[in-house]
Structure 1
Amino acid sequence: MNTPLPTTTQAKSQAKALRTQLAAQGTEIGHAQALERVAQQYGFADWNTLSARIANTPPPEWRIGARVRGAYLSQDFTATVVTIDAQRPGWFGVELDLDQPVDVVTFDSFSNFRKRIRGTVGPQGTSQERTSDGVPHLTLHQ
């Protein structure tokens, strides 16, 4: 299959558009049936299989070698994706090689710069881990 997979939101939007199109032609189908048809358009036997595959596939802009933007400990960066792997549905472990090192210490008289960072990001591109003020440790912009 050479067609890139949609996100879950895109696939559901496609199902909704399919239902609307078929209804305009006089054929009513349920949402579940529309999801099944969308899955088949991508070469999958059913919606559950497509949905599971989507959840375990990182967004195309996060592929190995891709250039990404984001923030690590509230510091903006640009980087190259070195590794990426599925941790659990919708969550991906990433290793990034930053263009410019970021200081991971906020104390004025001490610094610790990192050029390579690792983290786990979820469906929104943010880590579960947060700083004391609630900001995600790692954010990848999509």
Structure 2
Amino acid sequence: MSHALPTITEAKQHAKRLRTQLAHKGTTISHSSALELVAHQNGFRDWNTFYAAMGNRPPEGWTLGGRVQGSYLSQPFEATIVAVEMLRPGWFRLILDLDEAIDLVTFDSFSNFRKRIRGTVGPEGISRERTSDGVPHLKLNI
């Protein structure tokens, strides 16, 4: 196989799209059948083999020294990854060194600037933790 393998998240998204397209054409298949079809399209005998070949690697760019963009507590940033650790498949703890410090306080009376942040994000680059209005603490553009 000469082409680069997708990430597990990309492969699962492909399976969802495939399932939706087939449903629009009148063919209903299970999600597991869609996963098997995606594995076959990529030259693997089944989903389990394909999953093992893809590994539990982070999305492209989520490596030591990689560059990311996103928002932290609704403040946009660009950063360099200084540490990355897989916690479980699809979930990664990242330490980011921001290019510019961001002010995390919305009051005018004081500020709290951060240049380095730590967070855990899932397969979509979004943290599970949320602010009181439901916005993810950390959101990476992927």
Give the % identical residues.
Answer: 56
User: 5+ residue gaps in structure 2?
Assistant: 19-32
User: 5+ residue gaps in structure 1?
Assistant: 17-29
Give the partner amino acid of 2:82. V
8 Å contact from structure 1 (residues 93, 118) kept in 2: yes
In structure 2, the partner of 1:129 is 129
**Which SS does the other structure have where 1:48 is aligned?**
helix
**Separation in 1 of the partners of 2:64 and 2:123?**
18
1:68-105 Cα offsets, whole Å, 9 max, x none, are: 11000000000111111111111111110000011122
8 Å contact from structure 2 (residues 64, 83) kept in 1: yes
Residue 56 of structure 1 and its aligned partner are, at CA, apart by: 2.0
TM-score by length of structure 1 reads 0.72
Q: Bigger radius of gyration, 1 or 2?
A: 1
Aligned residues: 126
**Which SS does the other structure have where 1:94 is aligned?**
strand
In structure 2, the partner of 1:96 is 96
1:101 to 1:8, Cα distance in 2 relative to 1, 3 A: same
**Separation in 2 of the partners of 1:51 and 1:81?**
26
1:49 to 1:84, Cα distance in 2 relative to 1, 3 A: farther
Residue 109 of structure 1 and its aligned partner are, at CA, apart by: 1.3
Residue 123 of structure 1 and its aligned partner are, at CA, apart by: 1.1
In structure 2, the partner of 1:61 is 61
RMSD: 2.9
**Separation in 1 of the partners of 2:68 and 2:35?**
35
Residue 61 of structure 1 and its aligned partner are, at CA, apart by: 2.1
